[in-house]
């Protein structure tokens, strides 16, 4: 069984199609890259997958179970299995909460739905320490506020939050876009390690073709809300690539 199946997803805003018959499968343990120019519909797809926006047509399945059109209450058990990491780490963290409290939010929110296997979570403070360890941050950051961290550290905290409940799938929407080049590389290395350690599957959305190529097993290309190409990473320079993919590669 695949980790996620998206079939025939269509979404319009004010009568204008933004996603048009989008279909793909995310295999278990795979990193599936998604590239496309600004406005092509990548973040809308991420929001539809996360249940933050409703699809007009089509279906989204997570580990075989249909999750589109679920109410917030019915979606709650699936929140444990599907998490989102966004590009702006500062905006994703509550500035008034200490890092330890932000880290514990998903775990406490999901309460009885969570059975952890990788993290022992014997106590809340131990879980915080385990999570900071997992993203290679020192334990002393637990007592700090987000503004006392660097952008790269804040994004590590966001990743730690996302993995805290041991999801099956992470949707990574431009996770390194707001970081400097050195922090970008170390976040990508961290994501690669966590994928192996925790058996995660990634939908990795990025403008950065080099990062996509480094991280992804397969890459999909979106143009005007349609997936126009889908290939294994080793075939990126194949003469069989769609003309639009070749254009994107040539301007990179
Ligand atoms: N809530 C909304 N209401 C109306 N139009 C929207 C809404 N959300 C997105 N759009 C439009 O849908 C199109 C796709 O936007 P989306 O953010 O999905 O693109 P994207 O590929 O993620 O772009 P970027 O790479 O710049 O983030 C854009 O034209 C955008 O203006």
End-to-end CA distance of the chain: 35
Q: How remote is the CA of residue 41 from the centroid of ligand 1, in Å?
A: 6
pLDDT at 193: 95
Atom of ligand 1 nearest to the CA of 40: 21
54 close to ligand 1 (CB < 6 Angstrom): no
Q: How is the chain split into domains, by residue range?
A: 4-251
Are 53 and 28 a contacting pair, CB within 8 Å? no
Q: How remote is the CA of residue 32 from the centroid of ligand 1, in Å?
A: 21
15 close to ligand 1 (CB < 6 Angstrom): no
pLDDT at 113: 65
Region of 199 please: left (phi>0), alpha (psi -120 to 50) or beta: left
Is the confidence at residue 51, as pLDDT, over 70? yes
Q: Whose CA is nearest to atom 4 of ligand 1?
A: 13
**3-state DSSP assignment of residue 31:** strand
Is the confidence at residue 107, as pLDDT, over 80? yes
Pocket probe for ligand 1: among 41, 203, 222, the residue whose CB has the most ligand atoms within 8 Å is 41
How do residues 184-239 score in pLDDT, each as one tens digit?
Answer: 999 999 999 999 999 999 999 998 899 999 999 999 999 999 999 999 999 999 99
Do β-strands 31-35 and 218-223 pair in parallel, antiparallel, or remain unpaired? Answer: parallel
- The span from the CA of 104 to the CA of 181, in Å, is 29
Q: How remote is the CA of residue 44 from the centroid of ligand 1, in Å?
A: 6
Q: How remote is the CA of residue 178 from the centroid of ligand 1, in Å?
A: 18
Could you tell me the CATH superfamily of domain 4-251? P-loop containing nucleotide triphosphate hydrolases (3.40.50.300)
Edge-first strand listing for the sheet containing 65-66: 16-26, 4-13, 57-62, 65-66
Is the confidence at residue 251, as pLDDT, over 70? yes
Question: Tell me, what DSSP letter sits at residue 178?
Answer: T
**3-state DSSP assignment of residue 171:** strand
Instruction: Provide the ipTM.
Output: 0.95
């Amino acid at each position: 069984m695949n980790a996620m199946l998206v079939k025939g997803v269509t979404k319009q805003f004010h009568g204008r199609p933004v996603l048009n018959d989008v279909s793909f499968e995310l295999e278990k343990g795979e990193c599936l890259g998604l590239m496309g120019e600004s406005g092509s519909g990548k973040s809308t797809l991420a929001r539809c997958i996360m249940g933050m926006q409703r699809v007009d047509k089509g279906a989204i399945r997570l580990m075989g179970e249909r999750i589109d059109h679920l109410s917030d209450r019915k979606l709650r058990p699936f929140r444990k299995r599907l998490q989102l990491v966004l590009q702006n780490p500062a905006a994703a963290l509550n500035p008034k909460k200490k890092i330890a409290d932000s880290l514990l939010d998903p775990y406490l929110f999901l309460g009885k739905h969570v059975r952890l296997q990788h993290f022992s979570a014997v106590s809340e403070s131990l879980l915080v320490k385990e999570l900071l360890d997992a993203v290679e941050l020192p334990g002393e950051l637990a007592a700090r506020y987000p503004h006392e961290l660097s952008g790269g550290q804040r994004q590590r905290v966001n990743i730690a939050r996302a993995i805290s409940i041991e999801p099956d799938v992470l949707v990574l929407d431009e996770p390194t876009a707001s970081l400097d080049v050195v922090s970008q590389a170390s976040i990508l290395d961290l994501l690669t390690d966590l994928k192996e350690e925790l058996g995660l599957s990634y939908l990795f959305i990025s403008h950065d073709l080099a990062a996509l190529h480094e991280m992804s097993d397969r890459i999909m290309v979106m143009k005007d809300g349609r997936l126009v190409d889908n290939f294994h990473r080793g075939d990126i320079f194949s003469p069989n690539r769609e003309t639009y993919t070749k254009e994107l590669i040539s301007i990179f």
